[in-house]
Amino acid sequence: MTKQIFYDTDCLSSFLEINDWSILEHLFDEITIPNAVYEEFTSLPLSSPIIKNLEILIDTNFVKIEDINPFSNTYDIYRDIKKEYEHNEGKLLGDGEAEAMAFVVSKKGILASNNFRDIKYFVDKYEMALLTSAYMICISVDDGFIPTEKASDIWNQMWDNGVNLPKLTFEEYYYDGQYESDYNDFGKRVNFK
């Protein structure tokens, strides 16, 4: 994968919380988190497995942290996304989500986020390439990296940890047409298939 991938807090934490980020390392050489996402992570207790696992990935250079230059086009996009969301929804969009989307738009990268409700409008508006935790699990099954039993186990662990997944079980998502629908909606822009 040559495009830079920008993770939002929710998507990356879904893997870190279950102590299994092998899918991420299988799919990508490295991933990037905006500084605002890093700050969201560091607000967690130091004893959190999410923080410990994130630090491992930063130390091994798998996770890179990128800050927005306030005099850049990326910052202008970030500011516009925040304003438009507040105007449309009547509430504030998180800085992590907004920074990740701004980087994706300015660098023609890929967004990794599970917060579909808040980002869908912008994904469509900017025709962003998007990956969700659910979608990455399915890609890893399709390419033979993990068997369906392992995918189901990962799915259940994420569900038990409160991850916002589109269906109750992996099997429902994978076999009932939702995975295919997500491919047609946003996944095809990523070019995994």
Q: Give the tens place of pLDDT for each residue, 15-74.
A: 999 999 999 999 999 999 999 999 999 999 888 999 999 999 999 999 999 999 999 999
Confidence of residue 193 (pLDDT cuts 50, 70, 90): very low
Q: Give the tens place of pLDDT for each residue, 144-171.
A: 999 999 999 999 999 999 998 999 999 9
* Phi-psi group of 90: left, alpha or beta (phi > 0 → left; psi -120 to 50 → alpha; rest → beta): left
Q: Which residue has the tokens 């807090």?
A: 9
User: Is the pLDDT assigned to residue 91 strictly greater than 70?
Assistant: yes
pLDDT of the residue at 3: 85
Using only the alpha carbons of the chain, give its radius of gyration.
16
**Tokens representing residue 8 in the block:** 């939002």
Nearest 5°: phi and psi at 64? -110, 150
Tell me the C-alpha distance between 24 and 45, whole Å.
24
Percent of the chain with pLDDT over 70: 98
Tell me the C-alpha distance between 156 and 152, whole Å.
6
Nearest C-alpha neighbor of 122 from the set 97, 153, 95? 97
- The secondary structure of the chain, three-state, reads CCCCEEECHHHHHHHHCCCCCHHHHHHCCCEEEEHHHHHHHHCCCCCCHHHHHHHHHHHCCCEEEECCCCCCHHHHHHHHHHHHHHHHHCCCCCHHHHHHHHHHHHHCCEEECCCHHHHHHHHHHCCCEEECHHHHHHHHHHCCCCCHHHHHHHHHHHHHCCCCCCCCCHHHHHHCCHHHHHHHHCHHHCCCC
Q: Kindly report the pTM of this predicted structure.
A: 0.93
Q: What is the mean pLDDT of the chain?
A: 93
Tell me the C-alpha distance between 38 and 88, whole Å.
27
User: Is the pLDDT assigned to residue 90 strictly greater than 90?
Assistant: no
